[in-house]
Chains A and B, each alone.
Chain A
Amino acid sequence: MSQIAAAFSRTIKEFLRERAVLFWTIAWPIVWVLIGSFVFVSGAPKEIVPYLRGSTTISMLVFALMIAGIANLPANIASDRENGLLAKLMSMPISPRKDFVGRILGLAAFSCLAAALVIAVGFACGARFSTTDIGVLQAVGFLLLVICASAGIGLLVGTFIKHVHGAVMTGVGIAVVTSAVSGMFMPYLALPLSLQQFARVYPIASANSSAIYALMGEEIAGYNPLTVSQISLTVALSVFLLILGTILYSRRCWRTE
């Protein structure tokens, strides 16, 4: 347990003390919540503006979780490899699995903090949700899937991209591009048909739509993602990415060559 606690504590402290991490994971989504809440809703009927703000808040919350997993985590791994910490850890009697669990828990805790801040700003800007307690629980579940899928992609990037700068750029690139083409920066119905299909398959976009649907209904989400087949696909792909990332991280990063 102390190994997990050590990795957890180090990961979360490093994230909280790194300006670039704080910018991309917290400041950037908050800026977009502000822009989305006041600029992009002009022209919309007054009665749905709070729910559009809610939708923007959820999407930016998901973006924050994505960036934490897809960019910050691989940067953290690549930095440890570049500066010799991985070699140091490999010389010690410690378990790669416990290091991994500690890092992921640290990532999850930091992500929750980022999520809380984004939600708080969203509420302050007038975001509203029409939901029940079950809806909230469903939304939390889908956001956990976002953390799983993002961590999995982040572990893959961190395993294969050796240098910090490359890992950060790759992670940010994946996060920004996939967010743009999967409807996180615009309404689902405004996407071309092919990208709507992508948004249904890509687990992070699907989880985003599912959380919005659970909190605000189909009118704001654009479609009903809470079908058995889509939920199953989202869960399966998220868990698959996490497991794949874990296996490759343990085998390749900790491989003695």
Chain B
Amino acid sequence: MNAIRVENLTKRYGANEVLKGVNLKVDEGEFYALMGPNGSGKTTLASIIASVRIPTSGSVDIYGRKSWQAKEWIGYVPQENFSSPKLTGRENLIYFARLLGYSGSQAKSLVNEMLGRIGLSADADKRVDKYSGGMRKRLEVATALFPGVRILILDEPTTGLDPSARRKFLGLVEEVKDKQTTIFLITHLGSDAELASRVGLIDNGEIIAEGEPEALKRMHGLVDVITVETAVKSDKVADVLRNFSDEKRLLETEAGYRIYCKHGDKVLPEAVRNLDQIGCKVTRIEVARPSLEDVFFKLTEKTVTEVS
């Protein structure tokens, strides 16, 4: 049975169509990641599935029920930090437990168990404004893990976290996932989406590709990616590198460039020689495996971090 079934979903704000006939199915127990740049409609889609917004047309079913009739099965974690900074971690979780109908004593005992599960027992009685970003995010995910939740919707959960906190957080998500819990992750980071069993790429309100992460990369002919970091960036450098890239495709990054080719180990020394000939100092060059950002770039000629 589909845990989430989205059919011909459209959302319009005035003349602006944010979602354009989106179709999507997520099976029970699946870890599905929806990846796209800012403004692509992924948060809008997540909030419609969570019943926070209503679609202009189309439907969302959660285990065969309309989404607003299935709220007790949904654990939604919005992008913003919604936990109260003036309350302690324990008080925040007790608040949500009581909102769900647990009595005071039931809430206390359940919260103690959850705090242990998310690794915040030692900091449970500190105010949340004293928590690090990673601790706060773990607390907020815990508010979506009360018994009975079958679908966990996480909207950009690792935004603002340092790499170490990000890894710990993703480790928590992996731990808490069980066979029955479906995870729907919204992200613009390919490295987060790689953890999913299936990824949907969204751009301009439409899903442009869908599949397992490795299958998506193979499907779009991405073999090797060479990351080049140079002392300076210029059109001359870009022109040289473009000649080594399949389909003359070049992605400019913050520190340099990425080019796509079939035999990276042979192309790499040639590229270095040519850059040296034009007097360009290479600070770092390596052959990497393609990422989902590379798939997105191949399909749209845009980076995931661009605003649509």
- CB <8 Å contact, B76 and A93: no
Q: Which of A63-86 touch B at CB < 8 Å?
A: 80, 82-85
- CB <8 Å contact, A256 and B54: yes
Q: Which of B42-60 touch A at CB < 8 Å?
A: 47, 50-54
- CB <8 Å contact, B71 and A93: yes
- CB <8 Å contact, B76 and A88: yes
| Contact flag A92-B80 (CB < 8 Å), given A2-B103, A3-B101, A256-B51 | no
- CB <8 Å contact, A84 and B81: yes
CB-CB under 8 A from A10, the residues of chain B are: 84, 87, 91, 95
Complex Cα–Cα for A2 and B95 (A): 9
Complex Cα–Cα for A198 and B71 (A): 48
| Contact flag A13-B87 (CB < 8 Å), given A87-B52, A92-B71, A256-B54 | yes
| Contact flag A88-B78 (CB < 8 Å), given A10-B95, A13-B86, A14-B86 | yes
A186 CB within 8 Å of chain B: no
Residue of B nearest to A88 (CB): B82
Complex Cα–Cα for A83 and B92 (A): 14
B151 to chain A, nearest CB (A): 11
Count of B residues near A, CB < 8 Å? 35
Complex Cα–Cα for A11 and B83 (A): 13
B122 CB within 8 Å of chain A: no
Interface size class of A (residues with CB under 8 A): 20 to 34
Complex Cα–Cα for A94 and B86 (A): 22
CB-CB under 8 A from A91, the residues of chain B are: 50-52, 71, 74, 76, 153
Q: Is the interface of A mostly helix, strand, loop or mixed?
A: helix
A140 to chain B, nearest CB (A): 30
Contact with B along A217-257 (1 / 0, CB 8 A): 00000000000000000000000000000000000000011
Partner of B98, one of A2, A14, A80, A84: A2
Complex Cα–Cα for A89 and B143 (A): 11
- CB <8 Å contact, B98 and A6: yes
- CB <8 Å contact, A2 and B91: no
A90 CB within 8 Å of chain B: yes
A16 to chain B, nearest CB (A): 9
CB-CB under 8 A from A93, the residues of chain B are: 71-72, 100
Partner of B99, one of A2, A18, A84: A2
- CB <8 Å contact, A14 and B87: yes
Contact with A along B221-265 (1 / 0, CB 8 A): 000000000000000000000000000000000000000000000
A9 CB within 8 Å of chain B: yes
Complex Cα–Cα for A82 and B80 (A): 8
A17 CB within 8 Å of chain B: yes
A121 CB within 8 Å of chain B: no
Residue of A nearest to B73 (CB): A93
CB-CB under 8 A from B80, the residues of chain A are: 82-84, 87
Complex Cα–Cα for A219 and B274 (A): 97
A161 CB within 8 Å of chain B: no
- CB <8 Å contact, A2 and B102: yes
CB-CB under 8 A from B121, the residues of chain A are: none
Contact with A along B18-60 (1 / 0, CB 8 A): 0000000000000000000000000000010011111000000
- CB <8 Å contact, A18 and B86: yes
- CB <8 Å contact, A9 and B71: no
| Contact flag A3-B51 (CB < 8 Å), given A14-B84, A85-B82 | no
B204 CB within 8 Å of chain A: no
Contact with B along A125-141 (1 / 0, CB 8 A): 00000000000000000
For B77, B79, B96, B153, the residue with the greatest tally of chain A CB atoms inside 10 Å of its CB is B96
Complex Cα–Cα for A216 and B234 (A): 83
A105 CB within 8 Å of chain B: no
The 8 closest A-B pairs by CB, nearest first: A84-B80, A6-B98, A91-B76, A84-B78, A84-B82, A93-B71, A91-B50, A85-B82
Given contacts A14-B86, A84-B82, A87-B50, 8 further A-B contacts (CB under 8 A): A2-B104, A9-B91, A80-B82, A88-B76, A91-B51, A93-B100, A256-B54, A256-B68
